[in-house]
Structures are given as structure tokens and as C-alpha cells.
Structure 1
Amino acid sequence: MDRLSGKVALITGAARGIGADTARALSRRGVKLVLTDLDADPLAELAAELGDDALAVACDVCDLPAMEGAVAQGVERFGGIDLVLANAGIASYGSVLAVDPTTFKRVLDINVLGVFHTVRAALPSLIERNGYILVVSSLAAFAPAPGLAAYNASKAGVEHFANALRLEVKHQGVDVGCAHMSWIDTPLVQDAKRDLSAFNEMLDNLPGPLGRTTSVESCTKAFVKALERRSRHAYVPGWVGAIAKARTVVTSAVGDRETLKHVPRLLPLMDEEVRRLGRSTSARNTALDDVAVDPKN
């Protein structure tokens, strides 16, 4: 019997990219789905595509009562929550001196507080049903990139949040995993490539496989496997695990050396491109921020 069939999964950031593709993959395995995102239209379209076993709740992960309401709707409809994929996340562009401070804060709010709110809302049901949580971090947690400080900090933060959470809830029957991915062909990466030539050059100058982009489908397969096996770690691609083990080298003076060759040229270029854009994140994120400020929009 399929170990996932009949389970109920809560997925944040479900409207697009990895969240949407994982929702489709889990649906094919017989999983009932509670899908949340701030982007209401594509979220509703996804739920309609997946049928009666998918519930869409448009809400902001930065709003704890809204997340508690989403979980309550899921529990009422499906009986409880067995699995959580804390996937919602955004990035900002620009150096610490140039990035818009409000955007910087929004990245931390979504990527860190959003994970806390998701877990806090779902945890009572997860404890009741001996559930599993997969927190989405990133290779950026231990391989930082200049111009992406908010994203780097947030992903390091949620990794350690997952580590602390694991210690808190293991005795209550809940397992916690953390996912670390390199660049995945998601809207986040696509938007950055479209907006910033400096981002594309940064990827081109990264050594070895570090600048390569991996398909969403490959990431989905790894996430589904982790959810099925209640894994402690999910690395996408697999070589990210080797980088994780070598993190002290990555952030050493030796590890900095190659990146520092390109910073004096690429970081000012990124800052200039951000200035011309008039925004420190993607146009899509900027539009959704307006929805977050006024949900009636």
C-alpha cells in the first residue's frame, strides 16, 4: 500500500513552482491537500485542477491568525494534518547598502516568520497524528551570495529553526526534515534572471556545478521522497549534501576567494540595475505585497 495515500498535506507557497508541482505529485499518490498562497487566482486554478481532495486558502504566511484559519479549514474538511511542506519564500535584490529596507524585512517575514506561523498553526494536529514537517531552506544557508543577504540569512535561519524544532517535537511523535536546494528553475530564479544581468553573470562565474539550474521536477521528486520517508535532510541535487558537510570551508577565507574576484564588478552592476528597476524584488512579488497590505485588492 502507498504510504502517502490518504494522508493530508499542508503546502505553503502552493500557487506556482515547487509548491504547485509537489501538490500535483502528492495528489497522484492519493494525498489530500490544503494549499495556501497569497496569489489567489493561480492557487484556485490549481485546486480546481486537483479536484475535491484539494482545498485552496488564499492567505499570507506572515499572518498567524490567517494560517491558523487555513489549518482549521483543512482539519474540518479532511480530519487533520499529517504532513507540512513549509515552502513559501521570496528573495530580494541588491547589496546591504542598496536594497530597499522594507523589501529586506519582507523577505525575513515570509521566509522565517512564515515558517514559524505555518508550523505553529499545524503543530497541534501534527502531534495528534504523528506527523512530519519538511522545512524548505536552501544551499544559500551555508553558501552565501553577495547581493542576496536577506535570502541567505533567512534560509540559514529556517535551517536552524528546523533543527531546534526537531529536538522539541521528536518525543511527541513528530519528525522534522530540512530541504536544501541549489538553483531550481522556479519563478523566483526566472524572475531574477530576467531582471538582472548581474545575477546571470554571478551564476556563470560560480565554480563547478554551483551555477547550474535544476528542474522543478527533480526537486519535486526529492520532496515527495522526503515526505514519504520522513527524512531528516533533502538535498537537491544530491551534491548539495557534500557542500553542506564542507560548510566551514565554504565560508572560510579560502571559500571566499573565488567569489571575491567578481564582487567589485558585479555588485555595483546589480545595485545599478536595481536602481533602474525601482524595486528590490520581482514585479510579481511587488504586486503581491500590495495584496498583503490590503487583502481586498
Structure 2
Amino acid sequence: MSRTQRPDGNDRLTGKVALITGAARGIGAETARALAARGVRLVLTDVDEPPLTALAAELGEEQVLATVADVTDLASMEAVAAAAVERFGGIDLVLANAGIASYGSVAEVDPATFKRVLDINVLGVFHTVRAALPSVTERQGYILVVSSLAAFTPAPGLAAYNASKAGVEHFANALRLELGWQGVGVGTAHMSWIDTPLVQDAKADLSAFGKMLAAMPYPLSKTTDVDSCVAAFVKALERRSRHAYVPGWVGAIAQGRNIAASRLVQKVMDRETPRLLPLMDDEVRRLGRSTSARNTSVSGG
């Protein structure tokens, strides 16, 4: 019997309803495609309307409810959850995926951009979960919160992103304790650098970012393809996993996170930060923004 099948021969995911935030591009969009192929009905949200609309048209209106919604606004997410219940009867799975990053040191980053990262990456996860929770609890579903390797292996110039991903990891840990007795599963996804718009934009904007990656010890310097990440996410959603690590070696670092942070990465970053962080700050000043151009052109998360 296939690992993806129940004893009756049916796919474990077929017929489930999944809410995905940040669904218009990158990991969110590709996970939506993979789940659609498994017979999952999809509730897709993003603030970037054109690619979201195109994805919904591609996957088919019968299987998809696509809504432009801002994860920083609880009422907006509650409206999405209500529409999902009305359309599909409820929500079984949540992929809290929406997220952005900022550029620059704590001394130089635009304070409004720093706050925006926390609003989207932390409050956005809370709003998504809070809105979907009544239905997910009723259906004893599963929530996958997208954290990062950055939760336990920080990098200079990315303090807001590091803090937000550590924050949502512990949010999910507390949520797991609150919901486990009610039959709801909670997992966190921790990825290294994935070839998404977030990483692509940073590489395009900042030579310092690419140099920072190159300075990191292997495999921390390696960028992983989106397909590998999607496969791990789908597996976690199917198996209600406690953790999803992409690539798998991230799990080993998670187990020895204190060693990784204090000895491995810290040693390299102590050497490289005096050179690379001023370069990043200079590049950010010349850009005139502390995040990607795409993020500045799209409001919300």
C-alpha cells in the first residue's frame, strides 16, 4: 500500500480543504498546485491579486476559492475563513506561509519596514490561525506554520526576519500544547535558503547578501529548489508532522541549535560581518528601501 493511501486505497489528502496564505507565488503557489493534484480543495489568499487570480484560473474555480486578503488584518482573515466554511464546509489544513524579509543592520534598517516584517510574519500567522481555528478544531485538522532555519541560525542584516521566524516557531510550540488534546496537529517548517522570490530579490538587490551566503560553511551556503520544499510541505500536511526540515540536514542543526549558533555560524559571521554588514547598509541606502521592490509595491502580506 502506498504511503499516501489509507487502507481503503484512497489518498489521505483527497477531499480535504487547505487554507494557504502567501499563495500567489513561490512556495505557496507550488504547494497549491501539488495539493490540487492530490484532490485537495484550496482556499488561497495573498495581497498580490494578478498572480493569485491567474493561479486560481489555472487550478479551476470548482476546486479553488481565491481571495485577496491581508494577513495583518484579522477581520480580513476572518472573512476568508467564513467564506471557506460557506463554500467548502470547513477548513482541514492551514499552511501559514505568508512572509517577507527586510534588509540592513538594526542601526540602519528602516523602522517601518522592520515593523512590517513582524506584522506580516508574526501577527499574520496569529491572524491566520485565529481565523481558521474554530473550523480546524471542529474538524480536528492540522496547522503548518512556516518558520525557517533562521529561527535558530541567525544572520546579520536580517534581524527582523530572524526574530519573526523564532517567534512563530515558539508560537506554534505553544499552539501545539493548546490544541493537541483537542485532536488538532501543529507543525513547523524550517527551511534553509530556498530559490523563492524572497531569496531571488535579495540576491538581485544586494551583492552583500550573495557574499554572505558564499561565506557560510557548506551546506548552509546552498540554495535548495522550490520543488524539494513543496514535497516536504505536502508530506508534512499529509502526515501531520511535528516538523518539516528542508533540506533534511536542517533537522540536525535544529537538534544542535546552540552549537550551530554559537560555534559554527557565529565563528564565520564574526569574521565576515565587519566586512559585509557595512556593505549591505551602504547598498540599502542606495536602494532607498529596506526590503524588495516587490514588497514595497504590494501592501499587506
Whether the aligned pair in 1 keeps the contact of 2:101 and 2:160 (CA below 8 Å) is: yes
What residue is the counterpart of 1:24 in the other structure? 33
Any runs of at least 4 consecutive aligned residues in structure 1 with deviations exceeding 6 A, and if so which?
none
1:6 aligns with 2:10: no
Q: 1:271 aligns with which of 281, 293, 296?
A: 281
Offset of residue 259 of structure 1 = 1.1
What is the rounded CA distance, in whole Å, between the counterparts of 2:158 and 2:23 in structure 1?
A: 23
**Distance in 1 separating the partners of 2:128 and 2:97:** 10
Q: Is the 8 A contact 2:14 2:38 kept in 1?
A: yes
Please say if 1:208 is aligned against 2:208.
no
Counterpart Cα distance in 1 of 2:265 and 2:31: 34
Tell me, yes or no, if the aligned pair for 2:102 and 2:160 is still in contact at 8 Å. Answer: yes
Give the alignment of 1:189-228 within 5 angstroms. Answer: 189-228=199-238
- SS of aligned partner of 2:219: helix
* Distance (Å, rounded) in 2 between the aligned partners of 1:256 and 1:202: 13
1:34 maps to 2:69 = no
| Corresponding pairs, count | 291
After TM superposition, give the deviation of residue 118 of structure 1 in Å: 0.3
Superposition pairs for residues 21-100 of structure 1, below 5 Å? 21-51=30-60, 52-100=62-110
Provide the rounded CA distance (Å) in 2 between the counterparts of 1:65 and 1:43: 20
SS of the aligned residue for 1:99 comes to: coil
- Aligned amino acid, residue 155 of structure 2: A
Q: In 1, are the aligned partners of 2:70 and 2:77 still within 8 Å (CA)?
A: yes
Q: CA deviation at 1:258?
A: 1.4
Segments of 5+ residues of structure 2 without an aligned counterpart are 1-9
Structure 1 residue 118 and structure 2 residue 113: aligned? no
Q: 1:254 to 1:222 in 2, by over 3 A?
A: closer
- Matched residue of 1:222: which SS? helix
Secondary structure of 2:106's aligned partner: coil
Work out whether residues 96 and 144 of structure 2, in 8 Å CA contact, stay in contact via their aligned partners in 1. Answer: yes
CA–CA distance in 1 between the matches of 2:264 and 2:87?
54
Among candidates 228, 243, 266, match of residue 233 of structure 1 = 243
CA distance in 1: counterparts of 2:47 and 2:180, whole angstroms: 31
Rounded to whole Å, the distance in 1 between the matches of 2:22 and 2:71 is 9
Cα distance in 1 between the residues matched to 2:127 and 2:177: 18
**1:214-234 deviations in Å (ceiling 9; x for gaps):** 000000000000000000000
Q: Output the amino acid matched with 1:21.
A: E
Once residues 149 and 91 of structure 1 are traced to their aligned partners in structure 2, the CA distance between those partners, rounded to angstroms, is 9
For residues 140 and 185 of structure 1, the distance between their equivalents in structure 2, rounded to whole angstroms, comes to 15
Deviations 1:121-154 (A, max 9, x none): 0000001101000000000000000000000000
Cα 1:72–1:111 change in 2 (3 A) is same
- Partner of residue 128, structure 1: 138
- Once the two structures are superposed, residues 137-180 of structure 1 have per-residue CA deviations (whole angstroms, 9 ceiling, x without a partner) of 00000000000000000000000000000000011110000000
8 A contact 2:98–2:124 mirrored in 1: yes
CA 1:280–1:232 in structure 2 vs 1: closer, same or farther (change >3 Å)? Answer: same
Does 2:235 correspond to 1:260? no
Structure 1 residue 252: Cα displacement = 2.0
Distance (whole Å) between structure 1 residues aligned to residue 100 and residue 33 of structure 2 = 21
Deviation at 1:45, TM superposition (A): 0.7
Contact 2:217 2:265 in 1 (8 A): no
SS at match of 1:4: coil
Aligned partner of 2:4 in structure 1 is none
Q: With structure 1 as the length reference, what TM-score do the two structures score?
A: 0.97
- Give the aligned residue type for 1:149: A
- What's the CA shift string for 1:21-72, capped at 9, x where partnerless? 0000000000000000010111011011100211111011000000000111
Distance 1:260 1:278 in 2: 27
Residue-by-residue CA offset, 1:89-130 (whole Å, 9 max, x unaligned) = 000000000000000000000000000000000000001101
**C-alpha deviation, 1:254, in angstroms:** 6.0
What is the percentage of aligned positions where both structures have the same residue? 75
| CA positional deviation for 1:255 | 4.6
Query: Cα 1:233–1:74, aligned 2, differ >3 Å: closer, same or farther?
Result: same
